[in-house]
């Protein structure tokens, strides 16, 4: 089942839950960066809620390329998305996306088993993180909320970017939490990739041992392993089609070429089926 999207008004939450969420946010920003994300995610889920209020009309809105129709099963919080990713989508396929590293039920990675060499942070390299294949930044910039929208916290301070997009824009929230766009990744690789777009890098500047993930910080571009390019391409094409996001002509040509050069394998099709069962929508580019 699908619904059309608008700016969500949100339901009422108890004062205690709101206060707890604000306390967690305050605690998160005094922690080291590598420990901050799960606390921020938990705080966000408390402040925003994990379900749409019952008895309300389906929200409606326009994306950059017209009305966007959202699947009913999109998780209501990123914390829920991550739990579903690990427990429902990848329970028997515990392998990181870019580097092919096996991980255990605690999402810890034995780097020796996959030949990955940490570039800087061993602690982050040894844990799995949920990677947005299309970065949240790219989603927010395409929708316009990343720079244009301004929100205010409980102290009257203005903020924007991801947090404001997530609070104000129902399309951003759905795209941000969409399981089709999430993959388990080596934490350090996820952090180093950051918001950089995918492309092709001259030479073979490998910084992660046997992992063929090449990050060119001078040109701000990342070249993924050949066996992951088709998966990435079909994710980008799905996100653009589903949420009305804009791809440049060069990006679209690159992803169409990558999709042809690296067609779907059995695991990609199985993953697509599992996500469709959860969210109510498959990626039509995976055939």
State the pLDDT at residue 183: 99
With a cut of 70, list the residues of the chain below it in pLDDT.
1-19, 21-22, 24-66
State the pLDDT at residue 154: 87
State the pLDDT at residue 181: 99
Q: Is 217 exposed, middle or buried (0-12, 13-18, 19+ CB in 10 A)?
A: exposed
In tens, the pLDDT along 223-238 reads: 999 999 999 999 999 9
**Rounded distance between C-alpha atoms, residue 272 and residue 281, angstroms:** 9
Cα 168-171-177 angle, rounded to 5 deg: 100
Handedness of CA 176, 181, 182, 187 (dihedral sign): negative
State the pLDDT at residue 67: 78
| Nearest to 164, CA basis, from 192, 125, 136 | 136
State the pLDDT at residue 206: 83
**Rounded distance between C-alpha atoms, residue 6 and residue 69, angstroms:** 10
**Rounded distance between C-alpha atoms, residue 53 and residue 222, angstroms:** 40
State the pLDDT at residue 32: 54
**Rounded distance between C-alpha atoms, residue 171 and residue 165, angstroms:** 9
**Rounded distance between C-alpha atoms, residue 74 and residue 110, angstroms:** 32
State the pLDDT at residue 50: 40
**Rounded distance between C-alpha atoms, residue 38 and residue 105, angstroms:** 17
**Cβ 36 vs Cβ 29: under 8 Å:** yes
């Amino acid at each position: 089942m699908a619904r059309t999207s608008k700016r969500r008004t949100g339901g009422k939450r108890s004062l205690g839950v709101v206060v707890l969420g604000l306390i967690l946010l305050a605690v998160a920003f005094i922690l080291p960066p590598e420990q901050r994300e799960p606390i921020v995610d938990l705080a966000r889920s408390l402040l925003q809620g994990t379900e749409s209020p019952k008895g309300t009309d389906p929200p409606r809105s326009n994306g950059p390329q017209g009305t966007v129709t959202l699947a009913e099963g999109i998780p209501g919080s990123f914390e829920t998305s991550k739990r579903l990713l690990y427990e429902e989508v990848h329970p028997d396929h515990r392998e990181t996306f870019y580097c092919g590293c096996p991980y255990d039920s605690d999402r810890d990675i034995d780097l020796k088993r996959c030949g990955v060499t940490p570039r800087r942070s061993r602690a982050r390299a040894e844990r799995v993180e949920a990677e947005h294949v299309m970065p949240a930044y790219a989603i927010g910039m395409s929708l316009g909320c990343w720079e244009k929208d301004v929100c205010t916290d409980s102290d009257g301070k203005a903020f924007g970017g991801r947090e404001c997009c997530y609070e104000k824009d129902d399309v951003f929230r759905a795209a941000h939490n969409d399981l089709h766009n999430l993959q388990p990744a080596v934490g350090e690789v996820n952090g180093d990739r950051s918001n950089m777009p995918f492309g092709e890098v001259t030479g073979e500047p490998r910084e992660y041992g046997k992992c063929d993930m090449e990050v060119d910080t001078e040109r701000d571009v990342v070249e993924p392993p050949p066996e992951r390019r088709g998966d990435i391409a079909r994710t980008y094409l799905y996100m653009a089609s589903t949420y009305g996001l804009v791809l440049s002509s060069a990006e679209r040509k690159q992803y169409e070429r990558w999709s042809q050069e690296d067609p779907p394998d059995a695991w990609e099709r199985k993953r697509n089926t599992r996500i469709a069962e959860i969210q109510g929508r498959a990626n039509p580019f995976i055939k």
